[in-house]
Structure 1
Amino acid sequence: MQKAKKKTYKNGLRVVTVPMKDNPTVTVLVLVGTGSDYEPKEINGISHFLEHMCFKGTLKRNSVKIISHELDSLGCQYNAFTGSEYTGYYAKGDAKNFKQMFDIVSDIYLNSTFPEVEMEKEKGVIIEEINMYEDMPQAHVQDLFSEVLYGDQPAGRSTLGTKENIMKMVRDNFVNYKKAHYVAENTVVIVAGNVTNEEVYKEITKYFKDVPVNKIGKKIKTKDVQSKPNVILKYKETDQTHFVLGVRSFDIFDKRNIIVAMLAGVLGAGMSSRLFSKLREEMGVAYYVRAYNNPSLDHGSFQISAGVNNERVLEVLKEIIKECNLLIKEKVTDKELNKVKALIIGNTKMSLEATDDIANYYGSQEILKKEIKTLDEKIKEIKKVTVEDIQKMAKIIFKTENLNLAIIGPYKDNREFLDVLKF
C-alpha cells in the first residue's frame, strides 16, 4: 500500500496525497470536521442538509444540472456524506481528468450559493430520506441506540435531523453554519491515485488560496455516564425484530480500541465467529449478526446488532450475553485469536484496493485525530493483542450497569427486556 504524505499550509489547511502510479483512477476527497455532534438542538440536521445544498449551484456553476452534467461527462463516481463528526465531498474518475475533477469538487465545497428555491424543494427530498430510514428498522435502530446511550444531546440525535427542524430552516442557517465550520484549519483535502504531489499542490494553490480563515465552531462535549441498564423500545409491526445491544467503551484516542476491535472480531467477524455460529448455524434465528467497536472523539460504544425471529428475541439476547460472559470467564485460545487477526488483516487489505477507499482510510484518520497510521503500523498493533488482553477487556466493558438495548419490533413493554440485561 502506498504511503501518504501530509502537508499543512500556513492557513491551517491540510493536504494528504497518496500517489499511485499504476492506478488508472484518481479520487479527490474534501473533508470538513463537522457533523451532527456539532449541532445545537434547534438546527439538528443542518450538517446533512447543507451537504445536499452544496450540489445545488455555485458562483461558477449556477445549477445542479450543470454540476451533475460535468461530472457525468467525465465518467465520474461522485457523492457526499455526512456523519456525526465529519462531512465529505468526493469525485472519483479517470486520472487524466484530475484537474477538471479537482475544479468541480473544490467549487462545490468553497463556493456554493444555497439558492432558496432549491432549498425549499430539497426539504421535501430530506423528509422522504427520513421516512425511508424510519421504514428500514435495520438502519433506524442505530439511531435509537445513539438515543439510549446519549439522550437529549448532539450525540444522541439523528444525523438527518427532525422533520420539524428541516421545514423551519432558512438560508441564513446554512450561511452561518458554513462560516463557522467550513474553514481552512477544519478542512482536509485528500487526493489518491495516479497523480503526483506537485500536481496536487498546484491545484491547491489555484483553488484553495482564498479558503476562509475563521475560528472553528466548537463541539459540545458529550456526557458519557450511566449507572444502570437502559432500554429504548419502538413499537412496529415487523416480521423480524431488529436490535442493537451494547456497552460504553472508549473515545477514538484510547489505545485500547484495538483490543476492543479484536474482541468484536471473536464474537462477530466472519462465518466462523461465535455469534454467527450460535445464532445462525446452531439456533437458526437470524440472517445477520454483527459485533463492532464504534469510537468517537469524546465517547465510544461496543455494539452487537442482529435481526431475529420475533418469538425468540429474549432467548437470543440471553445467548448473546452468555457469550459475552464466556469471554470474561475463559480466555480465547491462541488459535481462535490468530484466526480473527488474519481475517481482520485480510479484509482490511482487500478494502483498500481502490483509490476512493484509500482516500477515506487516510482522510478519516487525519480529520479526526490529526495523525496518520499506515496499514503496516495498524497490522503491528493487531498482532500485539494477546488472549490475556481480550479477557481483561471483557471484564472492563461487560458490566451490567453499562448495558444498553435499542429494539424495533412488535413490543410495547420494555420490562421483559430490562430483566435480561445483566452479565
Structure 2
Amino acid sequence: MARIVSETLDNGLPLHRIRVDGTRATTILIAFDAGARAERRDENGMAHFLEHVVFKGGEKYEDHRTINRTAEQLGARTNAATSHDLVAFHITVRAEAAPQAIDLVTDFVARPRLDENHLDMERGVVAQEIARYLDQPAYVASRMSALATFGDHPLGRPVLGRVEHLPTFTRAALLSFRQRRWAGCRGGAFIIGNIDHVSDDGEISDLFERFPTLEEPEPYESAPDFLPRTLVERRDTNQSHLRMSYRLDYDVTDAKARAAARICAIILGGSPSSRFNDEIREQRGLCYSISAGIRECADVGVLNLAAGLASANCVEAYTRMREIVAELCAQGPTDEEVARARAVAAGRRVLAFEDTYTVALHTAHQAIVHHGDLDPDALIAELDAVTIDDVHDIASAIDPDKPSVACLGPHDAEEF
C-alpha cells in the first residue's frame, strides 16, 4: 500500500504526498477540472492553448529558455496534457531534485506571464498542431466518433479546438478562463514517488500557495442523452477508419463498476485473445488494427470500438463487430475470458505504475474526476476482484442495436 498524506492549503488546493517505495524518481503533478469540458462553445480549444502558453515564462523563471534550461539542469522530464476532464502539468526528476522542481513548476504554472508576443507566436504553433492531427485519418475518425456520440456538447468537441478560434484567445480571455476554472477546490497537487527530499515543514506548501485563491467554478454541463448518430466522411481511399460507440449504463462513481467495464472492454477487443482480435483479425483477416476501450468521464461511460482496415472489408467487419457485441450482451462472458482479462488489466497496471508519472496522472483522475481512493494499489485490487457476474451486469445493460457510428473512407452512411 502506498503511504498517503493529504492536506488542503489556504488557497483551497489539496496537496497529496504519496510515497511509492522502490523508486529513485519523484513526479510533481498539478491538475484542475478545467479541460475542454469546461469551455463554452466559443472557447473550444482554450484549455489546450492555455496549457501551451504557461510554459513561456513565470515570475521567477521569466521565459521558455530559462524554464527549459533549468529543467535540463535538474535532469527533469516536464510536460502537460489537456483532456476533456483535466488540464495537468507535471515534472519528473530524480528524488534529490524534487524541491527545485516544485519551485520551477509552481512558478510558471501558478504565475504565468502570458505575454502578448508569446501568445501570437504560440497561435501559429497550435495551428500547426491542429493541422498535423487533421492529416491523420485515425484522429479525424475519432473526432467524428465523439461528435456522433455526444453531438454539439463539450464532450463532443475536439480538445484541440478549431483554428478559427485561436485569434480570439487574447491575454484577457485566457486570464478570464483561468479565473473562472482554475479554482483550488476543483484541482489538486500531487507529489508521487520517492519523497525523502521533500520537507514537511511548510516550505513546500508555500510554493503551491503561489496559486491564487479563487471561487468555486460553476458546474460543467451534464452529459447529454444518448442519441446515436451515423457520420461518414467520404474519402476515395483504400483504407477505412471505423469507430463505434455504445453508452454504458452504470454509475461511473462506483470503482467496482468502472473495473468491471474495463474487463468487459478487454474481453471484446483489448487483448490478443479478445473476441474481436481473434475472429475479425486472426480468423477472418479483415483488419490489421482493432480495439475496444472505455471512455470514462465524470458522469458517463462509453464503450468505444475502433478498426483500421481495407475499405473492401469495412462493412463485413462492422456487421460482425455488432454481432459480437450482441452475443456478449445476451450470453455474457465465460469464466475463462474473465480470468484472462483480469490478469491482463491488473498486469498492465502493475507495469504502468512502475512510472511515477502514470501513478500521478491516475491519482489526479481519482481525486478530481472520480473522487475515489488515491492508493494506486486499490485499482489493481478492484481489477483482481471483478467477477463474471460483474461483467455480465455491464454487458447486459448495453443496447446492441444502438451504437453511434463514424467512418472515414469510400462509404455512404446507408452502408451502416
- TM-score scaled by length of structure 2: 0.94
2:120 is matched with 120
C-alpha change, 1:239 and 1:104, in structure 2 (3 Å) is: farther
- Give yes or no for the alignment of 1:322 onto 2:329: no
State the alpha-carbon separation in 1 of the partners of residues 307 and 279 from structure 2: 12
SS of residue in 1 equivalent to 2:332: coil
Query: How many angstroms does 1:56 deviate by?
Result: 0.8
SS of residue in 1 equivalent to 2:78: strand
In the alignment, residue 41 of structure 1 is paired with which amino acid? Answer: R
Q: What does 1:71-82 align with in structure 2 at a 5 Å threshold?
A: 71-82=71-82
SS of residue in 1 equivalent to 2:243: strand
2:178 is matched with 178
- Give yes or no for the alignment of 1:363 onto 2:364: yes
Q: What does 1:2-401 align with in structure 2 at a 5 Å threshold?
A: 2-20=2-20, 22-196=22-196, 199=199, 202-226=202-226, 229-249=228-248, 250=250, 252-254=252-254, 255-400=256-401
Contact 2:242 2:314 survives alignment (8 Å): no
Contact 1:221 1:298 survives alignment (8 Å): no
2:403 is matched with 403
- With 61-70 and 180-189 compared, the bigger mean Cα shift is at 180-189
Deviations 1:134-175 (CA, angstroms, capped at 9, x unpaired)? 111222322211111111121111111111111222110111
State the alpha-carbon separation in 2 of the partners of residues 193 and 392 from structure 1: 36
In the alignment, residue 126 of structure 2 is paired with which amino acid? Answer: I
1:421 is matched with none
- With 202-211 and 297-306 compared, the bigger mean Cα shift is at 202-211
In the alignment, residue 310 of structure 1 is paired with which amino acid? Answer: S
C-alpha change, 1:367 and 1:388, in structure 2 (3 Å) is: closer
**What is the total number of aligned residue pairs between the two structures?**
414
Contact 2:188 2:364 survives alignment (8 Å): yes
Query: How many angstroms does 1:373 deviate by?
Result: 4.4
Contact 1:91 1:101 survives alignment (8 Å): yes
SS of residue in 1 equivalent to 2:6: strand
State the alpha-carbon separation in 2 of the partners of residues 17 and 209 from structure 1: 15
State the alpha-carbon separation in 1 of the partners of residues 387 and 206 from structure 2: 50
State the alpha-carbon separation in 1 of the partners of residues 309 and 279 from structure 2: 12
Deviations 1:276-324 (CA, angstroms, capped at 9, x unpaired)? 1112211112222111111211222111111111111000011111111
Q: In angstroms, what is the RMSD of aligned CA positions?
A: 2.0
State the alpha-carbon separation in 1 of the partners of residues 393 and 192 from structure 2: 39
State the alpha-carbon separation in 1 of the partners of residues 264 and 168 from structure 2: 44
C-alpha change, 1:4 and 1:144, in structure 2 (3 Å) is: farther
C-alpha change, 1:292 and 1:76, in structure 2 (3 Å) is: same
State the alpha-carbon separation in 2 of the partners of residues 392 and 91 from structure 1: 40
Contact 1:57 1:63 survives alignment (8 Å): yes
State the alpha-carbon separation in 1 of the partners of residues 120 and 75 from structure 2: 30
SS of residue in 1 equivalent to 2:305: strand
Query: How many angstroms does 1:375 deviate by?
Result: 4.0
Contact 1:251 1:295 survives alignment (8 Å): no
- Unpaired runs of at least 5, structure 1: 418-423
In the alignment, residue 168 of structure 2 is paired with which amino acid? Answer: K
Query: How many angstroms does 1:251 deviate by?
Result: 5.7
SS of residue in 2 equivalent to 1:158: coil
State the alpha-carbon separation in 2 of the partners of residues 345 and 196 from structure 1: 28
State the alpha-carbon separation in 1 of the partners of residues 381 and 192 from structure 2: 24
Deviations 1:166-188 (CA, angstroms, capped at 9, x unpaired)? 12221101111111122322231
Moved over 4 A (4+): none
Query: How many angstroms does 1:10 deviate by?
Result: 4.3
Query: How many angstroms does 1:378 deviate by?
Result: 2.9
In the alignment, residue 7 of structure 1 is paired with which amino acid? Answer: E
Contact 2:11 2:214 survives alignment (8 Å): no
SS of residue in 2 equivalent to 1:152: coil
- With 374-383 and 206-215 compared, the bigger mean Cα shift is at 374-383
SS of residue in 2 equivalent to 1:367: helix
State the alpha-carbon separation in 2 of the partners of residues 337 and 329 from structure 1: 16
State the alpha-carbon separation in 2 of the partners of residues 235 and 273 from structure 1: 30
Taking only the aligned residue pairs, the percentage that are identical comes to: 25
